[in-house]
Amino acid sequence: MLRQIGFIGVGHIAEYIVTGLAQTGENINFFFADPCPQRARRLAELHGGEVSQDNQMPVDQADLIILSTRPQQVESALQGLSFRPGQILASIAVGIPLQLLDRYVKPARSFRVLPISCVAVNQSPVLIYPENQDLRSFFSLLGRVHTLPDETTFEPATSLVGAFYAWIFALMEETVNWTAGQGLEPDLARKLVIETVQGACAMATAQDKLSLNQIWASLATPGGISEYGLRVINQKEGLKVWSDALHLVTERLRR
């Protein structure tokens, strides 16, 4: 398995990845490069590793280099770096195509990868393209790996895994606030909302031979509160708004 891991750019997602890896018990060596290395130094103090402001350092030391800069910083971060055959560069910079990455990292191989913040608790879906067994084995430590069929699907999948994931927290907060406003203790309201979402996910996972709509139909008693509430939501196009937002986010990513 890949054990010499370099980071070019040490932002929030890089921190989440390192936090998740530290919980696996695997012997992994970290090499961090960032022009503002405060976060990298803190991670190195907690989990070990070398820190530099020079991006060539992790390239020299690591077998897997995780590019986690902002998208607009990718080209400047890779400019002038010298990679070697057999190395892997996994870019988690949103919206950056392989064609651009290859221009800078050959003879190394470049891949697009998308984990989300729940890698910190080893529960993230992780998107990769193209397939690579070494990457799959590595990111399987942090969640479930899904190889996309082609690069054109990376943007809509990013909208789902990236943006939709974050919106779920906003929806839960709205529901917690409403529930607490009805007189329940805020702590209990939070627990009930989280446990309800967890229960729905567990049911969907357990009944994976059924469509989600079939599961919904099995729960909705004709004339009952679930059916009534969904009718209100649909009258206000509450579900369609989510699809519209996903579409707009995907178009932004493609631009």
Over residues 54-78, the pLDDT tens digits come to 999 999 999 999 999 999 999 999 9
* Burial zone of 88 (CB within 10 Å; 0-12 exposed, 13-18 middle, 19+ buried): buried
173 and 120, same structural domain? no
167 and 132, same structural domain? no
Q: What does the block give as tokens for 123?
A: 């529960």
CB 104 within 8 A of CB 76: no
Give the tens place of pLDDT for each residue, 105-148. 999 999 999 999 999 999 999 999 999 999 999 999 999 999 99
144 and 168, same structural domain? no
- Of the residues 130, 148, 166, the one at which a domain ends: 148
129 and 211, same structural domain? no
Give how many domains the chain has, as a whole number.
2
42 and 166, same structural domain? no
50 and 104, same structural domain? yes
User: What range defines the domain where residue 186 resides?
Assistant: 157-254
Residues 5 and 3: their CA atoms lie apart, in Å, by 6
| CATH number of the domain to which 48 belongs | 3.40.50.720
CB atoms within 10 A of CB 206: 10
14 and 71, same structural domain? yes
- Of the residues 115, 148, 181, the one at which a domain ends: 148
Interstrand relation of 4-8 and 88-91 (parallel, antiparallel or unpaired): unpaired
What single-letter amino acid sits at 180?
Answer: A
pTM here? 0.93
Q: Has residue 162 got a pLDDT over 90?
A: yes
114 and 59, same structural domain? yes
Q: Has residue 1 got a pLDDT over 90?
A: no
CB 126 within 8 A of CB 138: no
Give the tens place of pLDDT for each residue, 190-243. 999 999 999 999 999 999 999 999 999 999 888 999 999 999 999 999 999 999
Residue 220 is predicted with a pLDDT of: 86
196 and 95, same structural domain? no
Residues 86 and 92: their CA atoms lie apart, in Å, by 19
Pick the closest to residue 203 from 190, 214, 188, 189 (CA basis): 214
21 and 141, same structural domain? yes
N-to-C CA span, the chain: 36
168 and 125, same structural domain? no
| CATH number of the domain to which 250 belongs | 1.10.3730.10
230 and 119, same structural domain? no
- Of the residues 92, 113, 148, the one at which a domain ends: 148
